Amino acid sequence: MTTLSAVIASGAYSAIPAAGIAGRIYFATDTKHTFRDNGVSWDDVTSSAILGSVALAPGAGGNFTVAHGLPAAPSHVSIAMTSGGGIWFQSPTMFDATNLYLVASDAGITGVAICFA
């Protein structure tokens, strides 16, 4: 489990940062490919369909659950923070066919969960 589940960044493919923070998303503006950091290397997920996104706004710090509203469990989910603080996945169950199981560092923070097929 990482305390930072994902960061969405963009730039030239030659500027992609070293892998090592699982869940980060990088969009290569020159090749138009999307990559996901698996913690060891970058996976090209350009052909992975984005099933949907879920707004995250926990009312308090600690564990919380959000229904993702998708017809099936996603294959992977990345979190993009839209405020300070952090949201990460609970362990060992991060998501299933109905919910995302998350942890918030504080109340009042926000993020977006991006769900992939």
68-93 pLDDT, tens digit per residue, is 998 888 888 888 888 999 999 998 88
Query: Where are the domains positioned within the chain?
Result: 8-44, 50-116
| Residue 102 bridge partners (DSSP) | 64, 89
Whole-number Å distance between alpha carbons of 59 and 107: 5
Provide the phi-psi class of 65: left if phi over 0, else alpha when psi is between -120 and 50, else beta: beta
Mean pLDDT to the nearest integer, 99-112: 94
Mean pLDDT to the nearest integer, 4-28: 81
Q: Note the pLDDT of residue 3.
A: 39
What proportion of the chain, given as a percentage, has pLDDT over 90?
42
30-46 pLDDT, tens digit per residue, is 888 888 888 899 998 88
Count helices and strands in the chain by DSSP H and E runs: 0, 10
Residue 70 neighbours by CB under 8 Å, 6+ apart: 51, 52, 97, 115
